[in-house]
Structure 1
């Protein structure tokens, strides 16, 4: 038994298709078949069984897969650590993030991380919405994402890192702009209420809040604060229910008001990563750093 056989076995177990596995391993299909056959012969157990044009793990293969992944992850982590000690750290971290922290929190976080760990790590930052970001994390496009909480994901670790304030925004000419405070009861009289779609994490939170207080959104259509702000800016009679983020900064004619029944930490943002997946030393350092990072708003 050798390392190549274990790597080949892991790839075939993940893809369950000889041709695809061989292509990703840059070897021929006969070479892969021969390697797996020798591994099964050496172990004395069948690892795969045919399932039409694909293969699937046997009960013995499933058990062997768990130990193989654990062993290879430990080995790869050791290699990465050795390279880092030798002065050659693995060079990049792929991060997915919601838009609302990309202009303040995330830049400060990365700057502080580099101050502690040096400038050699490259950060590849991609923007998206919570649900697609979580799906891409599960598909290994990212190593870490910053999103809202998504339930029923036991294989992911969600660590709260900051919270965002929910406010009402309105045009300066709106009659509610002159009030000293604003309650959800006041919003019952609003001609138009614009907010997030209820099928998004933040939209679900807002929808539940409004429903509890007998308020109905007339336009639940905006996935981000820029779109939401632009809609309210173009409709002086409208009230927007939105997170207070940098997305509202361009709108000089809009003002925001705290909603009296809503706590400042209405919407938590989480750092999310795959719990048991292999992580380079740089990624592990980053995750530990995020946990301890204290960010001061404003």
Structure 2
């Protein structure tokens, strides 16, 4: 069925006059009549009849108009959405770790929007743990995530964009609180609050202990670094966590780790198997430019 003929049909149904409709469509009246005749022949019904107020829809024509007009509106909206995206507008779906959702990711998003004030650019934000974010990225729920490096990289592309120092935190009345810097080998006698296996930090901290050839005494396993810090403040154990401003507000001693030293890196991660809209690609390039210039 000819799309142009459908558009002619809708316009004639609205104007109810062949000559005026043809003028609005910038075609000849015979061309319009031929198009409507072809539609009627294909459908096997009469769509228009002469009425007291001009050209009127038949009962079949009214049914057909309701369907065609709705379908063309959906089609036109879809076309406009695609064109809008091609012009660099659209929605960027972001997933990130909580620690990156406080300052880093919001500041990047705001800077990108401010750099393109003439565009309609929107963001959605979702906070979760690395493994959950990666699962959602693999399912195309997000365009980009900011998290720890994936353990398996087959379908992901990851670029380091930020880093965070790892520190040891102990209760203020803990024997290690007398130190100003600590070697993890000196902490092995004390119970640890460790990141659980759902956390992207688990393999990072585990690698630190592998470097000293020892295993920590794990008393509790928790996914959230903020919860771990709260438990340490209440004497449930000690922990290796990323440095966070909130640590300064808790009853804990923050100790730099002399050995093995380690920085946690954060990555911008995309799905190599997923189409990247122009606005998302521009944002990726924007982030990478920021990284190169810092």
Map residues 242-253 of structure 1 onto 2, 5 A cutoff: 242-246=241-245, 248=247, 251-253=249-251
Question: Is 1:290 aligned to residue 287 of structure 2?
Answer: yes
Q: Given that residues 211 and 260 in structure 2 are in contact (C-alpha distance below 8 angstroms), is that contact kept between their aligned partners in structure 1?
A: no
Partners of 2:145 and 2:260 lie apart in 1 by: 27
Partners of 1:296 and 1:217 lie apart in 2 by: 42
Partners of 1:207 and 1:83 lie apart in 2 by: 45
Deviation at 1:105, TM superposition (A): 1.2
User: Which 10-residue stretch deviates more, 96-105 or 145-154?
Assistant: 145-154
Partners of 1:268 and 1:260 lie apart in 2 by: 18
* Structure 1: unaligned runs, 5 residues or longer: 3-75
Partners of 2:280 and 2:204 lie apart in 1 by: 31
Which residue of structure 2 lines up, in the alignment, with residue 227 of structure 1? 227
User: Which 10-residue stretch deviates more, 288-297 or 223-232?
Assistant: 288-297
- Paired residue for 2:258, among 253, 257, 260? 260
Please give the secondary structure, in 2, of the residue aligned with 1:159.
strand
Deviation at 1:96, TM superposition (A): 0.7
Which residue of structure 2 lines up, in the alignment, with residue 107 of structure 1? 106
Please give the secondary structure, in 1, of the residue aligned with 2:94.
strand
Number of equivalences: 215
Partners of 2:101 and 2:85 lie apart in 1 by: 33
Alignment RMSD (CA, Å): 2.9
Partners of 2:243 and 2:280 lie apart in 1 by: 30
CA 1:199–1:209 in structure 2 vs 1: closer, same or farther (change >3 Å)?
farther
- Paired residue for 1:270, among 251, 267, 272? 267
Partners of 1:225 and 1:295 lie apart in 2 by: 29
Partners of 1:83 and 1:200 lie apart in 2 by: 37
CA 1:296–1:183 in structure 2 vs 1: closer, same or farther (change >3 Å)?
farther
Deviation at 1:232, TM superposition (A): 0.5
Which residue of structure 2 lines up, in the alignment, with residue 125 of structure 1? 125
Partners of 1:296 and 1:179 lie apart in 2 by: 37
Partners of 2:219 and 2:257 lie apart in 1 by: 19
Q: Given that residues 194 and 219 in structure 1 are in contact (C-alpha distance below 8 angstroms), is that contact kept between their aligned partners in structure 2?
A: yes
CA 1:98–1:139 in structure 2 vs 1: closer, same or farther (change >3 Å)?
same
CA 1:219–1:231 in structure 2 vs 1: closer, same or farther (change >3 Å)?
same
CA 1:151–1:252 in structure 2 vs 1: closer, same or farther (change >3 Å)?
closer
Which residue of structure 2 lines up, in the alignment, with residue 33 of structure 1? none
Please give the secondary structure, in 2, of the residue aligned with 1:279.
coil
Q: Given that residues 179 and 255 in structure 2 are in contact (C-alpha distance below 8 angstroms), is that contact kept between their aligned partners in structure 1?
A: no
Partners of 1:168 and 1:142 lie apart in 2 by: 33
